Structure 1
Amino acid sequence: MVRGRISRLSVRDVRFPTSLAGHGSDAMHTDPDYSAAYVIIETDAQDGLQGCGITFTLGKGTEVVVCAVKALAHHVLNKDLGDIVGDFRGFYRQITSDGQLRWIGPEKGAVHLATAAVLNALWDLWAKQEGKPLWKLLVDMDPKVLVSCMDFRYISDALTEQEAYEMLQKGRVGSREREAQMLAQGYPAYTTSCAWLGYADDALKQLCSRALQDGWTRFKVKVGADLQDDIRRCRLIRDMIGPEKTLMVDANQRWDVPEAVEWMVKLAEFKPLWIEEPTSPDDILGHATISKALAPLGIGVATGEQCHNRVMFKQLLQAKALQFLQIDSCRLGSVNESLSVLLMAHKFGIPVCPHAGGLGLCELVQHLIIFDYIAVSASLENRMCEYVDHLHEHFKYPVLIQKASYMPPKDAGYSTEMKESSVKEHQFPDGAVWKKLLAGQEN
């Protein structure tokens, strides 16, 4: 029973100085500090439950997203949680259609990141009240209710409400068996932790060797800054993992379209499964050109971590511009929008391989991809979810990886709740960690 009037919404700027060790570094983002706008929603219900939501950032700019969350708060405060989830499509449409805030979106940028944080918190609270992990809440939900959570505006030419309902109905066949399979074996993952662009060769070798010992079979390498260095690093990793294991490369938007093709022709000898974000994430037709050019080489295009919304994903699918679709649980408008993208990908026959890592992204997106397998795609072919082994210790319910697979969370909620001690220490700029670092910079 969903209950409670929303009495308080708070948001905090939480940052981790990961740039000091080169964690997360790539060709475009050379010094990321993994960070989040962290939202907590409270109600007047007597259950003591809180909804926790995050949206992922890279340090500077988190304060902008915090401001956007505060600007959206009036849509949530004093609303009844039951009324919100009872007409979740209407609420989603309301919060993304604010007549004035929409101008600095619409449904993109800082406002949409803030929307994701707020909605992630609402989904977390809903799942906690139902006593289920989010993936289980979704799997058990009646298809009509699931469809009622999605906004089909702008995508009805690619996916109608009726089609979505029929897909979800069909997905119920065999779902119990697939759920049992997930609980026993987990969802396959790949690692990005071995080959950040800022790591020295010794670190690459050490991390790759350790990952092989731990049973990892899929590895992603950051590329795009220097061709000869990319060739050397890809050869190093390929030689270590051998010819049978899977290699992917990621340029993080570094190249122009012709440059992407030329560069990947040179890296084709290392048999990458995909090139990720080869050019601007907004360039739908550019991705299509790259996809067509690389198809004879057996290299697919993957993108989506900075794809703003369902409309862009619709166009990427319609233009045959990608072979692997990468949803991000904080870039899109939370579960509501992610559901519609999962269904579009299924209709177009494109495997979903989510973006994760960062701060809390693994914790969130595991729920979506497990739901996708159980209730939508029913397939693991060419599917895997990214994993990065940073900062999980700061979450109350961290991810569990066994045999290079995500094991389905069993705690109620969206796995978004952070430890209060970690939030206090890393709150910017007044947390103990940042006081010490900023004082050192002044000296």
Structure 2
Amino acid sequence: MIKLLTVFCHRKNFRDKMLHKIINLTVRDVRFPTSLDQHGSDAMHTDPDYSAAYVVLDTDSGLTGFGLTFTLGKGTEIVVCAVEALARLVVGKCLQEIVSDFRGFYRLLTSDSQMRWLGPEKGVIHLATAAVLNAVWDLWARTEGKPLWKLLVDMEPKQLVSCIDFRYITDVLTEEEALDLLVKAQEGKQHREDQMQKEGYPAYTTSCAWLGYPDEQLKQLCTDALKSGWTRFKVKVGADLEDDVRRCRIIRQMIGPDNTLMIDANQRWDVAEAISWVSKLAEFRPLWIEEPTSPDDILGHAAISKALAPLGIGVATGEQCQNRVMFKQFLQASALQFVQIDSCRLGSVNENLAVLLMAHKFNVPVCPHAGGVGLCELVQHLILFDYICVSADLRNRMCEYVDHLHEHFTCPVVIQDAHYMPPKDPGYSCEMLESTVQRHQYPEGNVWKNMKK
């Protein structure tokens, strides 16, 4: 009787704590004119304006959740429309109702019998799903008074597994296998958490070598980065081979023979072209070639991986990998040597958990994508969780860092000695300053009104 009463009281306390009814969802189109200075420029995206569909969830308790999905400017209004179409599935639900069956809620958003035709689980509708789910995870972490990474780290393995939709991936990872992987990783977990709190997670920088930067700017940024302790650098390539050779030579000379260099073509080439082009850049000893061809071409990536292996160059991809099913096939086909998860391309934390576990099973290191507004703030939570609770390994692992637009967030990312330092504030770190949102909202914000004059 006493035991039953204890359980009842525990459940009641849980319900009281989690009863935050979502009464409103707002989404705004927030854009930053980064194209003016060529920030973010690459071989395929020559004039990006870093942007976001920015979601706010209001509850009857007064607690608020914030989420976003990253875009490059034009088309953000389409994602906003998709978020609005999903709102009816969210508004009216209590947080407790969602998180007690998070797998079911994920399926509710991704498997609506009519809207799934727009995906399923890919494209604009999946970007919108990520924005909504990111806001829900932020709300949950705030309710618990924890940063998201700590919320995940403190979860029991069974609860983590219950957040994942295993549909379509059980031929590679079953629920039982996922649970076993998480249980085994419990050993040494506290030590790794303490290590991250002290040292942070290793990062690499993309900010020095956007494709549109002139040589003098590239050299100065490399010099500054080296002084700040950076040892891992990524260079954008793919527009012109002679230019790539020249720029890679500059970077390699600047950073020296012992620091790490990666190259990124942003989907520019056909398969044979990728093999030929990267072979001509092999003298600069890149660790990987990122997105060498279409992000949907799994077998093409496999062919490139096989051809470049004798040169010691791996293939990295994932920032535009549409869902866990495609990641499954990339891993099955040995088509990539570095998995690059994205906090907004996949279906938020839920789907990224599945990919982290599959990557661990295949022993492929995860090196997240974070080139965009808010992505550093988001993905730092996932990679901390991966090390502490899944991989327990830092070999060949690092998280991308881009030094743009962090000042627009209430809890901006903290980099110390080229390492991500674990966030301490509750939530998913993607709340923007309201003044920023108002100034940069498209098209009525002052930034955009003034630009049109």
- TM tier, smaller: over 0.9
The answer for the alignment partner of 1:331 in structure 2 is 345
The answer for the alignment partner of 1:222 in structure 2 is 236
Moved over 4 A (4+): none
1:131 to 131, 145, 160: 145
The answer for the alignment partner of 1:38 in structure 2 is 54
1:92 to 86, 106, 123: 106
The answer for the alignment partner of 1:274 in structure 2 is 288
2:317 to 303, 312, 322: 303
Q: How does 1:54-93 map to 2 (within 5 A)?
A: 54-93=68-107
| Cα displacement string for residues 224-266 of structure 1 (whole angstroms, at most 9, x for unaligned residues) | 0000000000000000000000000000000000000000110
Give 1:29 shift: 0.2
Is 1:238 the equivalent of 2:238?
Answer: no
The answer for the alignment partner of 1:156 in structure 2 is 170
SS class of match (2:113): coil
Give the Cα–Cα distance (whole angstroms) in 2 for the partners of residues 398 and 53 of structure 1: 14
Give 1:357 shift: 2.5
| Cα displacement string for residues 161-217 of structure 1 (whole angstroms, at most 9, x for unaligned residues) | 000001111111100000000000000000000000000001000000000000000
The answer for the alignment partner of 2:387 in structure 1 is 373
| Equivalent residues of 2:48, 2:72 under 8 A apart | yes
Alignment-mate amino acid for residue 54 of structure 2? Y
| Equivalent residues of 2:21, 2:92 under 8 A apart | yes
2:273 to 240, 259, 275: 259
Alignment-mate amino acid for residue 347 of structure 1? K
Alignment-mate amino acid for residue 126 of structure 2? H
| Cα displacement string for residues 317-362 of structure 1 (whole angstroms, at most 9, x for unaligned residues) | 0000000000000000000000000000000000000000311000
Alignment-mate amino acid for residue 197 of structure 2? L
Q: How does 1:423-438 map to 2 (within 5 A)?
A: 423-438=437-452
Alignment-mate amino acid for residue 196 of structure 1? W
The answer for the alignment partner of 1:7 in structure 2 is 23
Give the Cα–Cα distance (whole angstroms) in 2 for the partners of residues 267 and 365 of structure 1: 30
Give 1:391 shift: 0.1
Give the Cα–Cα distance (whole angstroms) in 1 for the partners of residues 41 and 279 of structure 2: 24
Is 1:103 the equivalent of 2:117?
Answer: yes
The answer for the alignment partner of 1:28 in structure 2 is 44
Q: How does 1:417-428 map to 2 (within 5 A)?
A: 417-428=431-442
* Bigger mean CA deviation after superposition, 277-286 or 72-81: 72-81
Give the Cα–Cα distance (whole angstroms) in 2 for the partners of residues 85 and 417 of structure 1: 21
Give the Cα–Cα distance (whole angstroms) in 2 for the partners of residues 398 and 127 of structure 1: 17
Give 1:104 shift: 1.1
Give 1:3 shift: 2.0
The answer for the alignment partner of 1:187 in structure 2 is 201
| Equivalent residues of 2:27, 2:53 under 8 A apart | yes
Aligned-residue Cα RMSD (Å) equals 0.4
Identity of aligned residues (%): 75
Alignment-mate amino acid for residue 188 of structure 1? P
SS class of match (2:172): coil
| Cα displacement string for residues 50-100 of structure 1 (whole angstroms, at most 9, x for unaligned residues) | 100000000000000000000000100101110001000001011100111
The answer for the alignment partner of 1:294 in structure 2 is 308
The answer for the alignment partner of 2:4 in structure 1 is none
2:425 to 395, 404, 411: 411
Give the Cα–Cα distance (whole angstroms) in 1 for the partners of residues 100 and 236 of structure 2: 43
Give 1:49 shift: 1.8
SS class of match (2:281): helix
SS class of match (1:272): coil
Give the Cα–Cα distance (whole angstroms) in 2 for the partners of residues 358 and 319 of structure 1: 29
Give the Cα–Cα distance (whole angstroms) in 1 for the partners of residues 261 and 20 of structure 2: 48
| Cα displacement string for residues 360-390 of structure 1 (whole angstroms, at most 9, x for unaligned residues) | 0000000000000000000000000000000
The answer for the alignment partner of 2:131 in structure 1 is 117
Give the Cα–Cα distance (whole angstroms) in 1 for the partners of residues 446 and 217 of structure 2: 29
Give the Cα–Cα distance (whole angstroms) in 2 for the partners of residues 363 and 438 of structure 1: 30
Give the Cα–Cα distance (whole angstroms) in 1 for the partners of residues 439 and 380 of structure 2: 27
Give the Cα–Cα distance (whole angstroms) in 2 for the partners of residues 293 and 75 of structure 1: 47
Give the Cα–Cα distance (whole angstroms) in 1 for the partners of residues 419 and 304 of structure 2: 31
| Equivalent residues of 2:20, 2:63 under 8 A apart | no
Give the Cα–Cα distance (whole angstroms) in 1 for the partners of residues 20 and 248 of structure 2: 53
The TM-score normalised by the length of structure 1 is 0.98
Give the Cα–Cα distance (whole angstroms) in 1 for the partners of residues 19 and 66 of structure 2: 16
Alignment-mate amino acid for residue 181 of structure 1? Q
Give the Cα–Cα distance (whole angstroms) in 1 for the partners of residues 386 and 380 of structure 2: 10
